[in-house]
Amino acid sequence: MSDADPNDSSAPTYSLGAVSRLTGLSAHVLRAWERRYGAVVPLRTPGGTRRYRESDVARLRKLRAAVMAGHSISEVANASDEELERRLGMTPSLPEPALTPLLDAIDRLDGAEAERLLAGQLAALGPIRFVRSVASPLLREIGERWAAGSMCIASEHLASTILRSLLGTCLRATTAGQQSAPILFTTLPGEEHELGSLMAAVTTAQAGGHPIFIGSNLPVPEIVHAADSLDAAAVAVGLCHVNGLDVPATLRALRDALPARIEIWIGGPGVASFPLPPQVQPIADNDELERKIALLLERGVQL
């Protein structure tokens, strides 16, 4: 964080490099858009270093989307946020990958075809869009079909096995990420659903962080031992369905056992079902996770 904003020193701000990672815009483009078009006006530290607010990051993402949709930066740089959203709303979005062929292959237990289709989508989209546009909606649909009794357990297990294998190949930190403090990804005791945590770990790797996925259903002492031994920056807990576990009490025990310097993040569809103890931070979606990674790196949790 930065003391660049005299009105709110607690508000998070980001460096040029962090904003480049968060928006997909190069540092050269960011400087040019600022200098030539006044697209955003970042804060400045006393030494003259740029610091970008959350609102700057959100606006730059909209501007990038508008440019990718065919608008020139000179045309949209000074448009209001409302105008940008209107233009983006008028622009046909990229078609989402079709899930029907995948679901058909999974239903008939055709593992080779399902893996071929998933691998092709991963290669075409890249890890982050694959997680958002294929893996996440596929798992939601499989869960709904299983709950409705229209998909067998064997099909669900087949899909999980293939996804786990493909996502594992993406779980490699960048060179910069390997120099940063690890972030551990796991689930609480009794939580067997690990793919949400694995997908979050892949997102972290792509965002420049250093994820370490240590599997699901871990006792609290094991999580604490791993985090402390590796000098982790954070423990990220995935929560889907935990049967019979007092989740708030378990999270309190985890918070009490971990050193104060190690943050606890929690995400997943089960989070809304429980009150969270203090100092346990909910992560709503992948965008928020990417911002958390950037802030950790900004604080000097060693990039």
Chain segment 99-121, per-residue pLDDT in tens: 999 999 999 999 999 999 999 99
Nearest to 240 by CA among 143, 138, 129: 143
Q: Domains of the chain (ranges plus CATH)?
A: 13-90 (1.10.1660.10), 100-170 (1.10.1240.10), 175-298 (3.40.50.280)
The answer to whether the Cα torsion of 281, 282, 284, 285 is positive or negative is positive
Average pLDDT over residues 120-133: 90
pLDDT at 21: 85
* 8 A C-beta contact, residue 99 and residue 141: yes
* 3-class secondary structure, 61: helix
* 8 A C-beta contact, residue 294 and residue 10: no
Average pLDDT over residues 1-21: 67
Summarize pLDDT for 44-88 with one digit per residue, the tens: 999 989 999 999 999 999 998 888 887 889 889 999 988 888 888
Average pLDDT of every residue of the chain: 87
- In a 13 Å sphere around the CA of 33, the CA atoms on its Cβ side amount to 25
Output the DSSP codes for 160-207.
HHHHHHHHHHH----HHHHTSPPEEEEE-TT----HHHHHHHHHHHHT
- Tell me the pTM: 0.78
Separation of alpha carbons 55 and 217, rounded Å: 38
Using alpha carbons, list the distances in angstroms from residue 222 to 23, 44, 182, 234.
36, 44, 16, 15
By CB atoms closer than 10 A (0-12, 13-18, 19+), residue 147 is: exposed
Separation of alpha carbons 223 and 264, rounded Å: 11
Reported confidence tier of residue 301, pLDDT bands at 50, 70, 90: very low
Summarize pLDDT for 134-181 with one digit per residue, the tens: 999 999 999 899 989 999 999 999 999 999 999 998 887 555 566 788
